[in-house]
Amino acid sequence: MNTHGAEARTAILKVLSEIREPAGATRIGVELGRAGINLSPRTVRFHLRQLDEQGLTELISPRAGRVISEAGREELAHANIVERVGFIDARVDELAYQMDFSFEKSAGTIIMNTAVILKRELSRSLAQMEPVFEKDLGMGGLLALAYPGETLGRLTIPPDCIGIATVCSVTINGILVRHGIPVVSRYGGLLEIRNFKPVRFVELIEYKGTTLDPLEAFIAARMTKVREAARTGEGIIGASFREVPANARAAVKKLHTRMQAASLGGIFAIGEPHRPLCGIPVPDGRTGVITTAGLNPVAALQESGARIPLRSLASLEDYARFKPWRDVCRQYRRG
């Protein structure tokens, strides 16, 4: 696809935003090509100079390349907003379809969320996350760490930082689809719990009508009370609402047992066919399913006062990359 002018510059800003590290014209051209946009390095350099003049990109050095500026991120957020409505809904389906995790082999890809913290904050951060995992308020019990220079998907960990990966709840979609069960992701929201049981959703955003991941937005806005929920059993956690065919309810319950054995259990509640679940109506022929957010442990860090770059639905990652959270915490304390 040939792209010109403002469209090309928007595409370049998007690449720089996703790479999250300095990049030159050649690498940017390669990433654009993967998205079906064909621009020569010379043309990319031309657009980069214009973006520099507009203050939307910053040249780190001729060798390292450029990064997107804060003004560039704001510009990107406003660009083609109508076209991006429903992007998250499509991203959910895309990653779920691409996932290939196998229970039989205990191997394959799953979907991850990512966050980046300062290396010196690792001990404190793990201490904040442990109670959330302990009370099963995240997505399963797996965690992965990446050190400076290592990667999590397309994210390269900066110097003096640690990358944290948690399992995204959309992994459940991938497992259901792989076993022939169609699933519809309806809402991302904030779920009130009491005595560690779901009560009602206090906030909801429909996946089809948003350009942002709802759970990522709620956590960044510090609207959760995950630490309190883990400590007392009462609070506000991130959760998603899905629908499956009513006649697949028993099969979903059996699959969830297998998910739990693989430390991928994140189904918080399965409703009755055609019946509302936590106040959310369900149409005839459907059953509601509530899943806990994989980012809930990271939400606990945000609540503790940290400001953490995070990304839900970051990418696929190998299941073998993840370890039980207890082992990760024990290994770090021993080291």
Does residue 212 share a domain with residue 296? yes
Contact call for residues 118 and 323 (beta carbons, < 8 A)? no
CATH of the domain at 13: 1.10.10.10
Q: Pick from 286, 282, 332, 322: which is nearest to 138 by CA?
A: 322
Does one domain contain both 154 and 49? no
User: 79, 96, 114: which is the final residue of a domain?
Assistant: 79
Domain identity same for 33 and 93: no
> pLDDT tens-digit profile of 221-255?
889 999 999 999 999 999 999 999 999 999 999 99
Last residue of a domain, one of 60, 79, 98: 79
Is the domain of 118 the same as that of 13? no
- What pLDDT, on a 0 to 100 scale, did the predictor assign at position 82? 47
Domain range enclosing 306 = 84-335
Is residue 247 within 8 A of residue 208, CB to CB? The reply is: no
d(CA 225, CA 296): 9
DSSP string, 43-111: HHHHHHHHHHHTTSEEEEETTTEEEE-HHHHHHHHHTTHHHHTTHHHHHHHHHHHH---BTTTTBSEEE
| Together in a domain, 224 and 292 | yes
- Counted domains in the chain: 2
What local confidence, expressed as pLDDT, does residue 2 receive? 39
Whether residue 59 is found in the same domain as residue 106: no
Give the model confidence (pLDDT) of 149-208 as tens digits.
Answer: 999 988 889 899 999 999 999 999 999 999 999 999 999 999 999 999 999 999 999 988
What was the pLDDT predicted at 235? Answer: 97
What pLDDT, on a 0 to 100 scale, did the predictor assign at position 316? 95
Same domain, 73 and 184: no
Same domain? For 223 and 293 the reply is yes
Q: Of 79, 102, 130, at which residue does a domain stop?
A: 79
C-alpha of 135 from chain center: 21
- Shared domain check, 331 and 220: yes
pLDDT at position 39 is 81
Phi, psi dihedral angles at 276 (to 5 degrees): -60, 150
Task: Give the separation between CA 249 and CA 278, rounded to whole angstroms.
Answer: 17
Per-residue confidence in pLDDT tens, the chain, 335 aa: 434 567 788 888 888 888 878 888 888 888 888 777 778 888 888 899 889 988 999 888 887 788 998 888 888 777 655 445 456 788 899 999 999 999 999 999 999 999 999 999 999 999 999 999 999 999 999 999 999 999 998 888 989 999 999 999 999 999 999 999 999 999 999 999 999 999 999 999 998 877 678 888 898 888 999 999 999 999 999 999 999 999 999 999 999 999 999 999 999 999 999 999 999 999 999 999 999 999 999 999 999 887 788 888 889 999 999 999 999 988 876 54
64, 197: one domain: no
Q: 203 and 62, same structural domain?
A: no
Q: In CATH, what number is assigned to the domain containing residue 121? A: 3.30.70.1360
Q: Whole-angstrom Cα distance, residue 164 to residue 146? A: 7
Q: What pLDDT shows up at residue 226?
A: 98
- pTM for the complete prediction? 0.76
Q: Are residues 187 and 147 in the same domain?
A: yes
